[in-house]
Amino acid sequence: MVNNDDGAAVRARGLRIVRGARTVIDGLDLDVPAGQVVGLLGPSGSGKTTLLRSIVGVQANVTGDLTVLGAPAGSPGLRRRVGYMTQAASVYTDLSVIENLVHFAALAGRRGAAAHAAAADAVAAVDLGGHEKQQVGSLSGGERSRVSLAAVLVGDPELLVLDEPTVGLDPVLRRDLWDMFHRLSGEGRTLLVSSHVMDEAARCDRLLLLRGGALVADTTPDELLAQTGAPDAERAFLTLIDRANTGTGTGTDAGTASSGGVR
């Protein structure tokens, strides 16, 4: 797929996002390398969803530079090339699984047989075989969220922006989805996957750790463990936060660091 000159699928410089009275992100610089599975990890409330919404162009009050696949975030041309899965499953509960997927395939420009083929492939990819005709409203939460993921897949995007796609799924299914993410990145696609579950860090090619709207680390899973000497990602994250707090002398909220340490 298309790589940009600097190999970044998403590039933010001085990004600032205000929601209501809060400045959720204040001066963020970040690069998402193309062709990789990049994890956006951070505790609940750290600004993951806000950042992803700005990348797909539905977040208001965004200032600074934000470039996606070489174009300003939210440009009309990107809507064919970027797929977005919202944190809460955003599919029609009163339609069947297959009706939902055919609809989103059609919006992405596939009609008739092509739309049905894409829908069937996506059903298989998220392991919902046998549920095709079921109304989404009668699916379990985890199944619903997989329909929502499949609705991204039918659009065949270059950049997949997935907000907590594996939350609440059983371990086998989670492993299968991460395998699929890597298969997709093997085809040259970029995946930006958020999670507040630190265990998922090990599955990513690259990690962006977010806390309080700021980047705590931009690293790889191996580097993270090596740098911190921690046995797992969760403790590595805590170590980084403790270091940041003592290092910069702004350690006023060391108490929240441990509660910020994710679940």
Partner 1 sequence: MTLTMVTAGRVLNQLRHDRRTIALIMLAPCLIVGLVAWMFHGTPVLDQFGPVLVGFFPLFVMFLVTSVTTQRERSSGTLERLMTTPLRKGEFVAGYAVAFGVLATVQAFVVVGFALLVGMDVAGSVWLVLLVAVLDAVLGCTLGLACSAVARTEFQAVQMMPVVIIPQLVTAGIMMPRDQMPEVLEWVSRVLPLTYAVESLQDLARGAQWAGVRGAIGVLVLWIAGAGVVGVLTLRRRTE
Ligand X SMILES: Nc1ncnc2c1ncn2[C@@H]1O[C@H](COP(=O)(O)OP(=O)(O)O)[C@@H](O)[C@H]1O
Identify the residue among 8, 28, 48, 181 touching ligand X (CB under 6 A). 48
Q: Which is nearer to partner 1, 161 or 209 (CB)?
A: 161
From the list 155, 190, 197, 153, the residue with the least C-alpha distance to 174 is 197
58 sits near partner 1 (criterion: CB under 8 A): yes
49 sits near Mg ion (criterion: CB under 5 A): yes
Distance CA 161, CA 48 (A): 11
**CA angle 235–42–15, rounded 5-degree value:** 135
Q: Please choose which of ligand X, Mg ion, partner 1, none residue 74 contacts, taking the beta carbon within 5 to 8 angstroms, the exact cut-off set by kind.
A: partner 1
> Do strands 37-41 and 206-211 pair parallel, antiparallel, or not at all (unpaired)?
parallel
Q: Which is nearer to partner 1, 111 or 175 (CB)?
A: 111
From the list 127, 121, 122, 204, the residue with the least C-alpha distance to 173 is 127
Query: What is the CA 106 to chain-centroid distance, rounded?
Result: 23
Q: Please choose which of partner 1, ligand X, Mg ion, none residue 182 contacts, taking the beta carbon within 5 to 8 angstroms, the exact cut-off set by kind.
A: none
Which one of the spans 98-106, 120-128, 169-177, 209-217 is the region binding partner 1 (CB under 8 A)?
98-106
Distance CA 33, CA 94 (A): 38
**# residues near Mg ion by CB under 5 A:** 3
Q: Considering the complex, what minimum distance in angstroms separates the CB of residue 233 from partner 1?
A: 29
* Interface contacts to Mg ion, rule CB under 5 A: 48-49, 87
* Interface contacts to ligand X, rule CB under 6 A: 19-20, 22, 24, 42, 44-50
